[in-house]
Chain A
C-alpha cells in the first residue's frame, strides 16, 4: 500500500466512513423546495492550491469545527487540493478524492510545492491601519429613542474617510430614520485604540406615534459633529463607539439638537 499517496480511514468502514454523504438527488429536491434560492456556482474545471503534508499526518474532520469527528487522515508526503474555506477551516480533497475539513492550525504545518510553509492572511493590524472600505452595525440611543444603525465608509487616506450612515430610531413618542453623509478623521490609525472625529450633513424623517399625537410626518435637514473611539479586535473586526451631536434645521422657530450615542461592531476590507 502506497502510504505516501493514500488516505487512511481511521474508523472501520462499517462506522461512518462508508456512509455516503447525502445524495445529490435528495439535495436537489430539497433545494427546489426553497423558492428563489441561488444555486451554487457550478464547479467548473478550476485550479486549486496544492499542499503537501509535512507532519506525520493531516487530520480531516467531517465538518468545519473542532467538535466534528476526524475520520480520515492524509499521511506525510501526501498532497491535498484546497477547495475553499469556511471561517478558519479549509475544505480539502486528497489525491484519492476524499474530502474533509482541516483546521487553520493544521494547515499552517503543510507546505507548498516549493517547500515553503502555507500561510493565510485572515486580516491583521496592518489592514486595520490601512484599508479601502469599512462597514458596521450599531445599537444605541438617539435623543431618548432606541437606535439601530449601519454605516459604510470609503477611506481616502489612512486617516481620512467618507462615511454614509443609515439609522432607524424607535421611541415612545415618535419613530423615524436618519441618513448621514460625512467625513471622518482618525488621529492615530496605527494605535489599537484610536480616537476619531466626524463631521457631516444629512436628513431626518420623523413619524410621530399615531396612538399618542396626531401630527404630520416631517423631514428636515441636519448637520452633525461627533467623536469616537475604535478598537481593533481580531482579524478584520473592530469595535467602534461614537457620539454625534445632530442639529436639526426645523421649519419651526427654533432648531432642534439631538444627541446620539452608539456602540457597534465593524469590519474592514
Chain B
C-alpha cells in the first residue's frame, strides 16, 4: 500500500517535468543557427530567411592630440646692484609663454635685501632704513624677442641649441616702504641642453623713480642672473 502510493506521487511529480523540458527558459541558450544547418552540406532552404540585425558598436577613432609645450617655468639666482645700497644676492622665479618663434611673454618676481649706503657705513650707528624696509622685491611683465639662434658645441660629442634674447617691460618694485612703477630692460643668453631644459644667463636693469635720499631721481638697479627653466 505504502509502495503503491509512493509510486503514484512520484509519477505525479515527474509528469510536469517532461513538459518543462520543451519550454525555453531564460537561462537556456538559444539554438545556434549553425547547428540547425543541414549536416549533408546542402544550402539552407531559402524559404526561411534569417533576419540579421548587426549590433556592431562603431569604434570611434581618436586622433592623438598634439601637446603644446610653449610654457617655460624656472628660477634664477644672481647679484643685484641696488643704486646707493650696494650689490646684493637676488633670487626669483620666472614664467614665460612663447607666442611665436620670435616673441614671448615673460613674468618674473624677484627678491633681494639692500645693503648699507656708504653714508651709513661711514657713520657706523646711523641707519637710514629699518631691517624690513631693506627688503627689495619686484615683479615684471615683459615682452621678449629671440634672435641669433644657433648651436653651441660642448667638447666633441655634445651640441646644444642656443639663442640670444632681448627683454623689456613694466612692473612694480617694493623697496624702503614704498612701491615704484618700474621699467625693465635686459638681454640674455639661453642654452638648451635638452628640448625641455634651458639654462639662462641674463642681465636686467630695473629703472624707477625714487626720492629716498632727498631728491627725486631715476635709479638704475642692474641685476645679473644665472637660472634654469623647464618647458612644458
Using CB atoms and an 8 Å cutoff, list the residues of chain A in contact with chain B.
16, 18-24, 26-27, 30-31, 33-41, 46-49, 62-69, 82-91, 120, 137, 139, 146, 148, 168, 170, 175, 207, 209-211, 235, 237
Say yes or no for B180: interface residue by CB 8 A criterion. Answer: yes
Quick check: A137 and B141 within 8 Å, CB to CB? yes
Using CB atoms and an 8 Å cutoff, list the residues of chain B in contact with chain A.
63-64, 66-70, 73-75, 98-102, 141, 146, 148-151, 153-154, 156-161, 163, 170-172, 177-181, 192-197, 199, 211-212, 227-228, 230-232
How distant is A13 from chain B, measured CB to nearest CB, in Å?
12
How distant is B77 from chain A, measured CB to nearest CB, in Å?
9
Pairs across A and B, CB under 8 Å, 21 listed: A16-B153, A27-B194, A30-B193, A34-B74, A36-B75, A38-B73, A40-B231, A63-B161, A65-B149, A68-B161, A85-B69, A86-B98, A87-B70, A88-B100, A90-B66, A139-B170, A168-B179, A175-B178, A175-B179, A211-B211, A235-B99
CB-nearest residue of chain A relative to B98?
A: A87
* Choice from B75, B102, B163, B192 contacting A37 with Cβ under 8 Å: B75
**Interchain CA distance A41-B231 in the complex, whole Å:** 11
How distant is A3 from chain B, measured CB to nearest CB, in Å?
26
Using Cβ atoms and an 8 Å threshold, which residues of chain B touch A21?
A: 158-160, 193-194
Quick check: B151 and A68 within 8 Å, CB to CB? yes
How distant is B214 from chain A, measured CB to nearest CB, in Å?
10
**Interchain CA distance A54-B62 in the complex, whole Å:** 23
**Interchain CA distance A216-B206 in the complex, whole Å:** 29
* Choice from A69, A170, A207 contacting B180 with Cβ under 8 Å: A170
Using Cβ atoms and an 8 Å threshold, which residues of chain B touch A27?
A: 193-194, 197
Quick check: B101 and A89 within 8 Å, CB to CB? yes
**Interchain CA distance A87-B157 in the complex, whole Å:** 29
**Interchain CA distance A182-B212 in the complex, whole Å:** 39
CB-nearest residue of chain B relative to A235?
A: B99
**Interchain CA distance A47-B63 in the complex, whole Å:** 9
* Choice from B70, B150, B197, B232 contacting A31 with Cβ under 8 Å: B197
How distant is B108 from chain A, measured CB to nearest CB, in Å?
14
Using Cβ atoms and an 8 Å threshold, which residues of chain B touch A34?
A: 74-75, 227-228, 230
How distant is B105 from chain A, measured CB to nearest CB, in Å?
8
Using Cβ atoms and an 8 Å threshold, which residues of chain A touch B148?
A: 67
Using Cβ atoms and an 8 Å threshold, which residues of chain A touch B195?
A: 91
Given contacts A88-B100, A148-B170, A210-B177, 18 further A-B contacts (CB under 8 A): A16-B153, A19-B153, A21-B160, A22-B158, A22-B193, A27-B193, A27-B194, A30-B197, A63-B192, A65-B146, A68-B161, A86-B69, A87-B101, A137-B141, A148-B172, A170-B179, A170-B181, A211-B212
Q: Which among A20, A22, A23, A27 has the greatest number of chain B C-beta atoms within 10 A? A: A22
Using Cβ atoms and an 8 Å threshold, which residues of chain A touch B64?
A: 46-49, 82
Quick check: B197 and A63 within 8 Å, CB to CB? no
